[in-house]
Amino acid sequence: MTLPEHRARREAASPQDARKAGKRCPLQPLLLGLLLLLVFFGYGFLSSRRPMPGGLGVRPGMLYPQPKALTPSRSDVLVLTPWLAPIVWEGTFSPEILDEQFRLQNVTVGLTVFAVKKYVAFLRLFLETAEQHFMVGHRVTYYVFTDRPADVPHVPLREGRRLAVLAVRSHARWQDVSMQRMEVISRFSEQRFRREVDYLVCADVDMKFRDHVGVEILSPLFGTLHPGFYRADRRAFAYERRPRSQAYIPPDEGDFYYMGALFGGSVAEVQRLASACHQATVLDKANGIEAVWHDESHLNRYLLYHKPTKVLSPEYLWDQRLLGWPSVMKKLRFVAVPKNHEEMRSP
Amino acid sequence: MGICDESRERQVCGGEGDRRNNQTFHHCFPGKPKCYPLHSVVLLTILILAFFGYGFLSSRHLMPAGVRAGHSVAVRDPDGWQVVTLSRMLYPQPMVLTPSRSDALTVTPWLAPIIWEGTFNIDLLNEQFWLQNLTVGLTVFAVKKYMVFLKAFLETAEQHFMVGHHVTYYVFTDRPADVPHVLLKEGRQLVVLSVRSYARWQDVSMHRMEMISNFSEQRFRHEVDYLVCSDVDMKFWDHVGVEILSPLFGTLHPAFYTANRKAFTYERRRRSQAYIPWDEGDFYYIGAFFGGSVAEVQQLTSACHQAMMVDKAKGIEAVWHDESHLNKYLLHHKPTKVLSPEYLWGDWLLDWHPVLKKLRFVTVPKNRQKIRNP
């Protein structure tokens, strides 16, 4: 065939052939262009997806009152620690702004609670009230540690919230039940939590939520002011005072007395805290000593030398029967459920 | 895309999200293997894996263990500080029922500290910083006649700025030979960066955003943990230390910290990227002093520069130039610390409010006509 004939044959091909032939040419650069676009957007998408510590965004058009530089948000309480960690009280924060910031990061909060032996009885109220008040609108995973999984009540959960039941052993002594929590939290942080949640909140179970507990508490490491000691001089704090214990704090040191019933932070920081407290407990045991307030004593020692990045006011841990409702507490958010100590703590 | 079947693609291959999904491509090219050769598919797959891998890896790199979403960080993570182990220290007990300041707001509604004298214990903060072995970069632009301010700026910085910590001064100038020789304390160094000047002072001011953004990418992120970006016609009069450091900080403008938001000199023309409506706005931040982690400062300066380019293309220039854009950025990307006007006081303000216990960083009087003209 001559060249002109060959060309003529090609030109005479069907419209379909012509389309295919035409497509094969722009296809490669088009695909390449597409790939480049994909890489560009994908990188941008991924790199913005992880929470950025500063400059947490809010959407335009959000309306709220102007903060006034010469008007303290609270005139009756300390709202900032000397190391510049906010102390969270009602009136110091805007839930709208914070919710927006945390929703944009799509955070997931894990809430750990131990319901061992008779303490399973507290679970229903704990979970039901958490559903109403805890991190509403955000993703939540409850981690219920128990020695009796069959007794975990079935509580309907809102969207974006789930519950995991994790089996643990029980101990004869309630002090050991309390102290084992540090070891378990440390272990599960490594094995599981760091892949599933961004923040961990570790709480006692014999409690109920009665008002908002939200993202204002979230921070790399937070502790909560014990409601019985927020007015006290540091010498009156119930720290461990025997130098032989790992939890020892001398009388001239100490910022606050934190309560063991509510602490938390990023998974990594909580893991570090729980691991350190567990090691300290083990060391004490080997030395034949048990800290006066068990895991709480070790928690206080840890938070003295590893300053928390937020401190929660006693609004976040209250006992109304013991302490009433003083005017400085504008809200009672998370409160003790009355219990018969002897009954609950016996086998 | 128009590769196999255009009409079908428009339906199925949605927005950006879809592009990430491999399956989308199967939809786009349903059972028509002849539409594209095999090696393209392989190339595509490899590229997707590479990009995901890179994105995953780089996000790990950005997010040091245990910090994310907050302010603490693993060692050497510039985006915050680590919860480090302190040693025994003696200081007065913080009293829960006694505010540190009764005359000022010390925490923003998004729980960022506002730094005033009396709110912080510098020994505690210094200890936390030293344990992390951090370096602070201070950028300053001494272009054209503004070179005359540099000596006093650097000398007073040596006395008051981050004393005892590692500091690198980054002096941007169009006349490197004129940079004065100032004796520096141990652990501190000065780097001169040559840049072009602009005819208009507004352009000199605005292009700082571009230059900081470029150098952050090329250099700063490898050399320092935090960046502080400052005007040069200033002097340090008192302590300016690690209490200011945080992923992202801005400073309250000394002329507006008592004003109603309607009086803030935000850009009010909708056409500008810096536009802020009357009923929005937290504070009016001054362009002369801002900073944060290198990553955050890079994002801020890059965003401001882009915004200024968009404005320029539309033939509009924001009323207060880079400061207008800074304010827009900080409205929608809340800073994690806010500095009180102690940290930027104006020499033109004749008396000061008793709320200011210290004047730490103050403008130097200048003859605007003379200094801004050739």
Q: pLDDT under 70 in chain B at which residues? A: 1-38, 42, 45-82
User: What pLDDT does residue B67 have?
Assistant: 29
Identify the bridge partners of residue A334 per DSSP, sorted by sequence position. A209
pLDDT at A345: 79
Question: Cα distance from A174 to chain B (closest Cα, Å)?
Answer: 30
Chain B partners of A104 at a C-beta cutoff of 8 Å?
Answer: none
**pLDDT for res B1:** 30
Known catalytic residues of B are: 323
Q: Determine the residue of chain B that is closest to A64 in CA distance.
A: B280
Read off the pLDDT band of A227 (50, 70, 90).
very high
Distance from CA of A173 to the nearest CA of B (A): 32
**Structure tokens given for A167:** 């089996």
The pLDDT score that the predictor gives to residue A34 is 65
Hey, what are A14's tokens? Answer: 């069907």
Q: Taking CB atoms and an 8 Å limit, are A43 and B111 in contact across chains?
A: no
Confidence of residue A27 (pLDDT cuts 50, 70, 90): low
Cβ contact B356:B341 at 8 Å: yes
User: What residue in B sits closest to A251 (Cα-Cα)?
Assistant: B90
User: Nearest CA to CA, how far is A250 from chain B (Å)?
Assistant: 10
Sorted by sequence, the CB contacts under 8 Å of residue B36 that are 6+ apart come out as: A27, A31, B3, B29
Give yes or no for a contact between B20 and A45, defined as CB atoms under 8 angstroms apart: yes
Contacting residues of B for A252, CB less than 8 Å apart: 90
- The average pLDDT across A169-174 equals 92
Q: Which of A57, A79, A266 sits opposite B70 (nearest CB)?
A: A266
DSSP structure string for A256-307: --B-TTEEEEEHHHHHHHHHHHHHHHHHHHHTT---TTTHHHHHHHHHHHS-
Give kind and range of the element (H or E) at residue A146. Answer: strand A139-146
- Nearest Cα of chain A lies from the Cα of B187 at a distance, in angstroms, of 24
Q: A117-121, A244-248, A263-267, A342-346 — which is least confidently predicted? A: A342-346
- The pLDDT assigned to B68 comes to 31
pLDDT higher at A177 or A254: A254
Q: Do A84 and B355 touch (CB under 8 A)?
A: no
Å from B114 to nearest chain A CA?
A: 9
B105–A76 CB contact, under 8 Å: no
Beta carbons of A79 and B296 less than 8 Å apart: no
Does residue A216 carry a pLDDT above 50?
Answer: yes
For A84-99, write each residue's pLDDT tens digit: 999 999 999 999 999 9
Which residues, other chains included, contact B89 with Cβ-Cβ below 8 Å and sequence gap of 6+?
A253, B123, B124, B127
Instruction: Please list the residues that pair with B81 across neighbouring strands.
Output: B72
Hey, are the CB atoms on A78 and B99 less than 8 Å from each other? yes
Which residues partner with B361 through β-bridges? B236
The alpha carbon of residue A38 is apart from the nearest alpha carbon of chain B, in Å, by 6
Select the residue from B52, B110, B249 to test the A interface by mutation, using most A Cβ atoms within 10 A. Answer: B110
Q: Report pLDDT for A198.
A: 98
Q: Which residues of A are catalytic?
A: 296
Identify the pLDDT of residue B31: 40
For all residues of chain A together, what is the average pLDDT?
A: 89
Between A58, A266, A305, which is nearest B334 by CB?
Answer: A58
Q: Cβ contact (<8 Å) for A83 and B120?
A: yes
pLDDT of residue B369: 85
Q: Quick check: B67 and A220 CB within 8 A? A: yes
Whether B99 and A79 lie within 8 Å, measured CB to CB: yes
For the entire predicted model, the pTM comes to 0.82
Of A75, A92, A233, the CB nearest to B107: A92
Q: Quick one: which of B326, B171, B359 has its CA closest to B248?
A: B326
Q: What is the mean pLDDT of residues A10-27?
A: 46
Decide: B272 and B318 in contact? Cβ < 8 Å. Answer: yes
**End-to-end CA distance of chain B, in Å?**
53
pLDDT of residue B350: 75
CB pair distance less than 8 Å for B125 and A87? no
- Helix/strand/coil (H/E/C) assignment for every residue in A174-233: HHHHHHHHHHHHHHHHHHHHHHHCCEEEEECCCEEECCCECHHHCCCEEEEECCCCCCCC
Nearest CB among B74, B106, B115 relative to A79 is that of: B106
What lies within 8 Å, CB to CB, of B8 at 6+ separation is B27, B28, B30
CB contact under 8 A, B257 and A69: yes
Q: How far apart are the C-alpha atoms of B49 and A212, rounded to whole Å?
A: 43
Query: Taking CB atoms and an 8 Å cutoff, what residues of chain A touch B273?
Result: none
Say which of A20, A75, A216 has its CB closest to residue B102: A75
What are the two backbone dihedrals, phi and then psi, of residue B334, each rounded to the nearest 5 degrees?
-60, 135
- Residue B49: predicted pLDDT: 62
Question: Across the interface, which of A73, A76, A220 has its CB nearest the CB of B71?
Answer: A220
Cα nearest neighbour of A266 on chain B: B66
pLDDT at position A316 is 98
